[in-house]
Structure 1
Amino acid sequence: MSDKNIKTDLNDCYCRGVKPTVAFEYIIRINDNELSVKEQKITGIKLHELEGTSSDTHFIKMVTKEGKIDIGPLIEVDLTECGIERFIILPYEQQEIDLEDCFCKGVKPVITFKYLLKINREKYSTEKEKLSREEILQLAGKDPKTHRLRMFTKGGKQIIEEGQIIDLTECGVERFVYEEIDCTEGFLSSDFNLITDSDRLFLSSLPNEVNVINERNLNWIVIRGYELPKGYNVKQADIAILIPPQYPTTQLDMVYFHPALRRTDGQPIGALSNQAIEGKVYQRWSRHRKPSNRWNSEIDDVESHLDLMMNCLKAEFDKR
């Protein structure tokens, strides 16, 4: 075969773990596009020309087995070096993608420089598109030997197994939740059979005391001293959530606070009323799901409802 007919596919070499051979033509990938070039060595400027972009507005990352490497306009890359999977060229303002935001919008995360992923209630940044279970737990400062990891997606919840790799660019990854494997020494009290296993694990992971209360045939979960968003008269409050019969098929709705909340700026809060729980006056916030965010028993639970209600508290300051 003539050398002029030899083509080397860098992505194929990367997948097979072999060093690309010198060839007449090289097949490279920029973002999701496949292109052919004849130069063995290629500069950042040339890559921008191929993609129709500029170093003034776009960054280049070379994806290798060692991770992502910055490629400046004058940097020269030898395509026969082992381990080049592809190149990423994207606008500077798109360097960080929030996976939870993509999930809510129902869009697939684009290939980018950084990804923002939610682990429990915090968000963490990573430059890797693919992370192992162990790496995700380490991002949150948790020991993979003492914690399990669950992934929430549009398809439901799943426990991530040891060594399992998660591709953050796959559509439908909402968030991750870690839980201590040993949950015997928690703050849970009373009968918790009325909630799910995932609820018990989540509530056990909280630093707060959690109680189950039954009054007038109504079951309540009460989280003591839960930290609230800024802007209210108290930093912490007891939070009550009504657990309806047939939960989790039946959705959770609204949230109740003791003591009552007021905005520190003096602005009124709408749709409030009182509710007697455990001999105290709790403040009921009538906050309900929209048709576009209907309850899904495969995904939603006490944790997701609590997260939604906390976001309602934050959104209160955008209304008035």
Structure 2
Amino acid sequence: MSQIAEAALRRGEDRYSIEVADASLTYRTVQIDDLTPTGLQLARAAGFKPPDDAVVLQVGADGALDLVESEKPVDLRHQDGRFVIVASDRLYFFKLSGNRFEWPCRVVTGGLIRKLGAVPPDMAIYLEQVDRPDRRIHDHDLVDLDPEGTESFIARKAVWKLNVHGVVIDVAESTITVRDAMEQAGFDTAKPWHMFFKVVGQPKQPVELDTVLDLDTPGIEKLRLTPKNVDNGEAPPAPHREFALLDVDTAYLDRLGLRWETIVEADRRWLLIHGYRVPTGYTKTQVRLALEIPPAYPGAAIYGFYAYPPLSLASGREIPSTQLRGTLLGVEFHGWSRHRGPSAPWDAATDNVVTQLGLVEAALAKEVGE
């Protein structure tokens, strides 16, 4: 007999206690008058009106869920007194490591799957997929159980993957230093590198060899590596600083390790970044990148971006909306008309050169399918 059933018996002849959870598996104590209640009585005791709109699942000692029919009695003297009771008109099914589970809601979270299957924290849950890699399901992820067929999950030791400049490595822990990642991928850490950690939708972040990368970060794209340029020993000319940027802009640009300037020509204010690397798939590997900075910046938005030499795709496909033009230092830059859209307009309090460069990277990557 379970501890809950024994406790219920000890409470007297009139009222007994059961534990009832909702769809989040949060339990509460509910009083009931009968040690052999039916599914209908359990739903009524849990407060469902009308009670026949509820699905009642009994939680076994092993975590298994068993449907309790409306008129089916449950003997709490010999069975566990834990139930999941949810308003629903049907049941959904999924498998976890070969075991079949019933669930009264169309959507289930990874955390609930972990709870239902008693999956320990050091194990990861994956949705098994045909003809493509299994999809890892994090605790906060939602899975729709409605599509035809039974969703099948498997729990196994977690493995994180990281793309190190085209070399995908498997990592047994959720964190790794840049140095360890490069060495595992076969790159010589003794050579001078520009190193950037790229997350989808964010500007690339300069990193150092001892930087610790969190592989649980959503949207990780890759660790990008660029050999540092070797020059002939001559010092480059001092960069132009004809107007000031925000402190956050200056700090970020300095961390990029690229030469940058602020220039005013024909009453237009420009931020010019030299040697800006573009993704594979273009006919050029790097360009001079320019952003036109409005006089009212950051109160006014930065619009699009400009490149010289003009960018074109190796595939020959034409890049849309690149008709803008701007002359800077005697050459004509080709501008990309890219804006944020009504769902994410420019915000003077949070947007700046840094976030605009994130838009630049996303636009360049989109054209080559990254």
Q: Greater shift after overlay, 287-296 or 254-263? A: 287-296
CA distance in 1, matches of 2:245, 2:268: 14
Of residues 235, 238, 258, the one that matches 2:308 is 258
1:96–1:228 distance in 2 versus 1, CA, 3 Å: farther
The answer as to whether partners of 1:188 and 1:209 remain within 8 angstroms in 2 is no
Residue number in structure 1 paired with 2:343: 292
Max Rg structure: 2
The answer as to whether partners of 1:188 and 1:204 remain within 8 angstroms in 2 is no
Q: Give the drift of 1:38.
A: 6.6
Q: TM-score, normalised by structure 1?
A: 0.51
Deviation track 1:157-181 (CA, whole Å, cap 9, x = no partner) reads xxxxxxxxx9x89xxx999xxxxxx
Residue number in structure 1 paired with 2:26: 34
Q: TM-score, normalised by structure 2?
A: 0.45
| Structure 1 unaligned spans of 5+ | 7-24, 72-88, 98-107, 117-123, 143-165, 176-186
CA distance in 1, matches of 2:341, 2:127: 34
Residue number in structure 1 paired with 2:276: 226
The answer as to whether partners of 2:325 and 2:332 remain within 8 angstroms in 1 is yes
**SS at the partner of 2:122?**
strand
The answer as to whether partners of 1:223 and 1:239 remain within 8 angstroms in 2 is yes
Alignment of 1:48-197 (within 5 A): 52-55=93-96, 56=98, 61=114, 68-70=121-123, 91-92=127-128, 95-96=136-137, 110=141, 189-191=239-241, 194-197=244-247
**SS at the partner of 1:53?**
strand
| Structure 2 unaligned spans of 5+ | 9-16, 28-57, 68-83, 85-91, 102-109, 129-133, 144-154, 161-168, 181-213, 221-236
CA distance in 2, matches of 1:141, 1:238: 29
CA distance in 2, matches of 1:208, 1:47: 59
Q: Give the drift of 1:226.
A: 1.0
CA distance in 2, matches of 1:256, 1:191: 19
1:27–1:299 distance in 2 versus 1, CA, 3 Å: farther
1:54–1:313 distance in 2 versus 1, CA, 3 Å: same
**SS at the partner of 1:296?**
coil
The answer as to whether partners of 1:27 and 1:34 remain within 8 angstroms in 2 is no
Structure number with higher relative contact order (C-alpha < 8 Å, ≥ 6 residues apart): 1
Q: Give the drift of 1:3.
A: 8.5
The answer as to whether partners of 1:31 and 1:111 remain within 8 angstroms in 2 is no
Residue number in structure 1 paired with 2:105: none
CA distance in 2, matches of 1:69, 1:48: 27
The answer as to whether partners of 1:238 and 1:259 remain within 8 angstroms in 2 is yes
Of residues 249, 259, 276, the one that matches 1:199 is 249
* Structure with the higher helix share, 1 or 2: 1
1:127–1:94 distance in 2 versus 1, CA, 3 Å: farther
Deviation track 1:14-47 (CA, whole Å, cap 9, x = no partner) reads xxxxxxxxxxx997989832258573xx36xx27
CA distance in 1, matches of 2:341, 2:141: 27
1:252–1:236 distance in 2 versus 1, CA, 3 Å: same
Deviation track 1:59-117 (CA, whole Å, cap 9, x = no partner) reads 85469xxx81339xxxxxxxxxxxxxxxxx784565256xxxxxxxxxx953799899x
Q: Give the drift of 1:303.
A: 2.0
**SS at the partner of 1:68?**
coil
- One-letter code aligned to 2:340: R
Are residues 1:5 and 2:46 paired?
no
1:4–1:141 distance in 2 versus 1, CA, 3 Å: farther
CA distance in 1, matches of 2:349, 2:172: 30
CA distance in 2, matches of 1:235, 1:286: 21
Cα RMSD (Å) of the superposition? Answer: 5.3
Identity %: 21
CA distance in 1, matches of 2:171, 2:296: 40
1:190–1:273 distance in 2 versus 1, CA, 3 Å: closer
Q: Give the drift of 1:4.
A: 3.3
1:94–1:265 distance in 2 versus 1, CA, 3 Å: closer
